[in-house]
Amino acid sequence: MCGFIGIQGPAGSDVAAEIYEALLAIQHRGQDAAGITTFTDTFHTRKDFGLVRDVFSERHMEALRGNLGVGHVRYPTIGGGGAEDAQPFHTNFPVGVAMAHNGNLTNFQELKVKHFESSGTRLNSSCDVEVILYVFVRALSARMKPGAKVTGEDIFAAVKTVYEEVRGAYSVIAALPDVGLVAFRDPYGIKPICVGSRDGSVGTYWACASESVALDINGYTHRFDLGAGEAMFVPEGGEPIRRVIGDKPHRPCIFEYVYFARPDSMIDDVSVYKTRIRFGEALAEQWKESGAPIPDSVIPIPDSSRDSAMAMATAMGVPYREGLVKNRYIGRTFIMPSQDSRQNSVRRKLNTIKLEFEGKDVLLVDDSIVRGNTSLRIVRMAREAGARKVYLASTSPPLVSPCPYGVDMATKTEFVAAGRSNDEVAKLLEVDHLVYLDRERMNEAARRGNPHIEKFCNACFTGEYPTGDISQTVLDNIGGERTAMQKSFAFTPVK
- Give the whole-angstrom CA distance, residue 169 versus residue 478: 13
DSSP alpha helix (H) spans, 178-271: 213-216, 255
Do 87 and 2 contact (CB within 8 A), yes or no? yes
127 labeled part of a ligand binding site: no
304 labeled part of a ligand binding site: yes
For the chain, the 3-state helix, strand and coil shares in percent, each to the nearest 5, are 35, 25, 40
Do 68 and 175 contact (CB within 8 A), yes or no? yes
194 labeled part of a ligand binding site: no
Nearest CA-CA partner of 185 in 239, 121, 248: 248
Do 166 and 103 contact (CB within 8 A), yes or no? no
- Give the whole-angstrom CA distance, residue 297 versus residue 80: 42
Beta bridge partners, 435, equal: 393
**Residue-by-residue DSSP string for 317-332:** T--B---EEE-TTS--
Catalytic residues: 2
- Going by their DSSP bridges, the two strands 324-326 and 350-352 should be labelled as antiparallel
125 labeled part of a ligand binding site: no
460 labeled part of a ligand binding site: yes
- In this structure, the number of other CB atoms found within 10 A of the CB of residue 10 comes to 16
403 labeled part of a ligand binding site: yes
394 labeled part of a ligand binding site: no
- Residues 6 or more apart whose CB falls under 8 angstroms from that of 298 comprise 309, 310, 312, 313, 316, 318, 319, 320, 321, 362, 363, 365
- Give the whole-angstrom CA distance, residue 2 versus residue 93: 27
Numbered residues of the known binding site for [4Fe-4S] cluster: 253, 403, 457, 460
| Residues of the binding site | 253, 304, 366-367, 403, 457, 460
Binding-site residue positions for Mg(2+): 304, 366-367
